[in-house]
Amino acid sequence: MTSTTEAAQTPPESNSFQVDLRGLVDLLSHHLYSSPRVYVRELLQNAVDAVTARRATDPGCPDRIRLSAEAGRVSIEDSGIGLTADEVHTLLATIGRSSKRGGEHGLESARREFLGQFGIGLLACFVVAREIRVVTRSARTPGAPPVEWLARDDGSYTVRTLPDEARPAPGTTVFLEPRPGSGEWLAPARVEELARDFGSLLPYDIVFADGGGAERPVTDRPAVWDREHPTPSARREALAGHCAALFGFTPLDTIDFDLPVAGVRGVAYVLPDPASPAHRGGHRAYLKGMLLTDRADNLLPEWAFFVRAVVDTDALRPTASRESLYDDETLDAVREALGAAVRRWLAELAAGDPQRLAAFLSVHHLGVKSLARHDPELFGLMLPWLPFETSDGRLGLEEFAAAHGEIHFTRTVEEFRQIAPIAAAHGLGVVNAGYTYDADLLALLPTVRPAVKVTELDAGAVTERLDPVPTEAELALAAFLATARTRLDAEGCDVVLRAFQPVAVPALYLDDRQARHERDRSAAESNADSLWSDILGSLRGSAPRARLVLNHNNPLIRRIAALPDPELTATAVESLYGQALLMSQRPLRPADSTLLNRAFLGLLEWATHSAAGDSAQEGR
């Protein structure tokens, strides 16, 4: 008896993957790319690579590439390396096979010399063509006859040799037979526009013919940033025109990129209007002169959202769709190098052209602040120029620190609005750190200017600055203050009397982070079940309480303090507390709303009663 295991054992059978050609062609032509437009790029790319390959062995060979669109048909002819019948079988008809990585240095040399590398590009043409015909003659094997390869989108093809006169000179012509419904992609104007968009910087002269007999150049080299200009201002003008044509705006300034180590040349145009830091502008990336994408978001660091860049590089790799950059270490390095170039430009402006820097910062200070957070050196450099909202107006921190020695800051815009005028009236320098990046930068300030002291503004610091009231005046108001303290104790708020500016402000509600925390804790305690309430209660401690600072300079306060009726005094104190709380723009707790309601109705009650009393008296 044989065991089950033995019975199941059969010799391993060697198999190959089965490929459904129709499915593969469909996948590569219709689903890899975002738009049919890429077929023009693939045609140009193969033609350019073919000329590059021929020039490697025959540097003086013709380098003609002619793209034409006529009567709904597109063709492209090159004077490149061409193919023999055998090569047609192995290269054109084998999906994934490319001649461009077969050399002794393999893939690396392909990436250095050629645009293509994957062996799938030609199939992209099936997105607009139902049939691709290639007529080619090898330059490497002069005796070989011309060959015709005819491929259909069902994955079938035929190969035949042609008589000598069918193609006397080496090179290749690719003809596309349109697929029904794709006429718009093969219309002459469209083809010419796409060829210019993709191919204007390609290294050989490419012409376009629309069938009317005229030929127009597709290529327009050298790139605008590499052209000779009679004067720097002529160059600036040319670049501004390029930017306007490309991106639709006139740049505030232009930053040159010339980074031979990173294999990158190009420019970055500074946006004339503020841009959202969350918006990463689409940069235009060319790979060896071929446009790869106009949405290369990851080409520059995130903080450089105030520029749109156009670069040509031979260092980066495309993804298989050739529509974006392969996110690898090289891209990281290029991104860093481009970021460093933008920083250098800023530093040079700071050192040599403060006026231009000021114009730039008036639009893009947010971007620079975002960058400076991670770059103390740059922060130090930009410090005199970066604007902050302060109790002395919009100022640079350096100037502000020189006037105050110590810088106080508030964490929120509301706090700043409420306290800054009062603090300023009493000689305290306050910066609003409620805006994006400002708190981070203030925290960084002592690193770049060690002499400057930066502290968060707390209720204690403000109260300390306000003038104390003479003892006799305070004693005279002792009864009133006692009523007020008792009334507001339940709200977790202390009452103090000070004389401060502006006179028109009757009361100031001050708390700091700890006091706010305590407020939240006690609110949570009153809402919690008994276990939590006990735990939260045990946390109650020495946290500073919020305080209501009454202004002895304010006539209303003096009148309230002199009210004979304790009931009315309590209502008035609640009203002052409520008003100050509203002015501080803090969110109201339910208890605060109840208090405000009560105080408001109490005042109405009192006002209508006394009015009724008056009229009753008048009636007598």
Ligand X SMILES: Nc1ncnc2c1ncn2[C@@H]1O[C@H](COP(=O)(O)OP(=O)(O)OP(=O)(O)O)[C@@H](O)[C@H]1O
Q: Which residue stretch of 75-83, 175-183, 430-438, 534-542 sits at the interface with ligand X (rule: CB under 6 A)?
A: 75-83
Answer for which of 25, 40, 44, 50 binds ligand X (CB under 6 A) is 50
Answer for which of 25, 29, 36, 46 binds ligand X (CB under 6 A) is 46
Q: Which residue stretch of 44-52, 183-191, 255-263, 559-567 sits at the interface with ligand X (rule: CB under 6 A)?
A: 44-52
CB of 103 to ligand X, least distance (A): 11
Answer for which of 44, 74, 79, 80 binds ligand X (CB under 6 A) is 80
Answer for which of 32, 65, 74, 83 binds ligand X (CB under 6 A) is 83
Query: 322 vs 487, which CB is nearer to ligand X?
Result: 322
Q: Is 597 annotated as a binding residue?
A: no
Q: Is 297 annotated as a binding residue?
A: no
Binders of ligand X among 160-179, rule CB under 6 A? 172
- Of 381, 301, 310, give the one whose Cα is nearest residue 348: 381
CB of 113 to ligand X, least distance (A): 12
Q: Is 518 annotated as a binding residue?
A: no
CB of 240 to ligand X, least distance (A): 35
Query: 98 vs 575, which CB is nearer to ligand X?
Result: 98
Query: 116 vs 506, which CB is nearer to ligand X?
Result: 116
- Of 520, 513, 462, give the one whose Cα is nearest residue 492: 520
d(CA 305, CA 298): 11
Please tell me whether residue 47 binds ligand X under the rule CB under 6 A.
Answer: yes
Residue 530 main-chain phi, psi, to 5 deg: -65, -35
d(CA 137, CA 84): 6
Cβ atoms within 10 Å of 198's Cβ, excluding its own: 23
Q: What is the DSSP letter of 179?
A: P
Please tell me whether residue 146 binds ligand X under the rule CB under 6 A.
Answer: no
594: CB partners within 8 A, 6+ apart: none
Query: 118 vs 400, which CB is nearer to ligand X?
Result: 118
Q: Is 20 annotated as a binding residue?
A: no
CB 555, CB 505: distance < 8 Å = no
Residue 10 main-chain phi, psi, to 5 deg: -130, 155
CB of 204 to ligand X, least distance (A): 13
Residue 471 main-chain phi, psi, to 5 deg: -55, -45
Query: 82 vs 155, which CB is nearer to ligand X?
Result: 82
CB 468, CB 498: distance < 8 Å = yes
d(CA 178, CA 188): 13
Coil, helix or strand at residue 178:
strand
d(CA 468, CA 481): 15
Answer for which of 44, 85, 92, 206 binds ligand X (CB under 6 A) is 92
CB of 362 to ligand X, least distance (A): 46
Answer for which of 29, 84, 98, 313 binds ligand X (CB under 6 A) is 98
Please tell me whether residue 149 binds ligand X under the rule CB under 6 A.
Answer: no
| Contact pattern for ligand X over residues 115 through 144, marking x by CB under 6 A | -xxxxxxx----------------------
CB 483, CB 477: distance < 8 Å = no
d(CA 137, CA 186): 26
Q: How far is CA 598 from CA 404, 483, 492, 583, 606, in A?
A: 43, 17, 18, 18, 12
Host H or E run for residue 424: helix 413-425
Q: Which residues bind ligand X (CB under 6 A)?
A: 42, 45-47, 49-50, 78, 80-83, 91-92, 98-100, 116-122, 172
